Amino acid sequence: MELRQYFQDKVVIVTGASSGIGLASCRLFGSLGAKVVMAARSYEKLLSLAPSVGPQVKVLCVKCDVSSESDCKSLVEDAIDRFGRIDILVNNAGLSMRAMFKDLDLKVIHSLMDVNFWGTVNCTKYALPYLLQARGQVVGVISIAGYSALPARTGYSASKYAIRGFLDTLRIEHMKDGLGVLVFAPGYTSSNVRNAALTADGSAQGETPLDEDKLMSAEECALHLARGLVQRKSELILTGLGKATVWAHRLFPRFTDKLTYNYIARETDSPFK
């Protein structure tokens, strides 16, 4: 099915919509004729970005901290009040981190679980009745770190594994209800997530350790997501490195641990050597 034909007049909620994969996805969905609900903590930023997504009649901006259950409930209610239905929920809002666990303030892991895992659970809980009515789809944007753990990212990997387990279970529960559940693992994608990643004390690291220009663009990632939704995939793992890592971890887990250690140790200012 052609993308525009599928997305025309679909109502799509995207969390973490103010930058990166979330914003690129909103713009793509909007260009394909969807009605887009943009959710993020910065309402003013959403308003400034909304014209790049679509005409005012087809875009709704909602201030939402996904770690707040009440905010997620209000997000869904606002979407229904405006558009009357929900066809797709993209749980994209997320935090990252970069620090050794032995040095870590536990508030960092609590923050990551609140946003990454509980944000997905909160939004999905309140959107689910409408998604079931529409025989729609729910997406969890995870990471290769949700299949094969990354050192110095204990909270990040734990939250992404948890999202995958939650969504895989949800898929089985609604196997006969027509609900699509997509676990979407982009791999390294150019975005602000590494700049905003939390350090051991909970402060943002401010700079990415990677060369962002060499990574997959958020726009390319959004296109993969759109195609995965059209095909109603249950799992989508991107990039050659990402696919190889998942495959190797399943077959040779201890060997993959060693390769991962050496790969991450080469990062600029790596927390370990």
Catalytic residues, which ones? 156
End-to-end CA distance of the chain, in Å? 49
3-state DSSP call for residue 91?
strand
Sheet holding 88-91: strands in order across? 59-63, 35-40, 11-15, 88-91, 137-141, 180-185, 235-237
211 phi/psi in degrees, rounded to 5: -85, 95
Outline where DSSP puts E strands in 43-147. Answer: 59-63, 88-91, 137-141
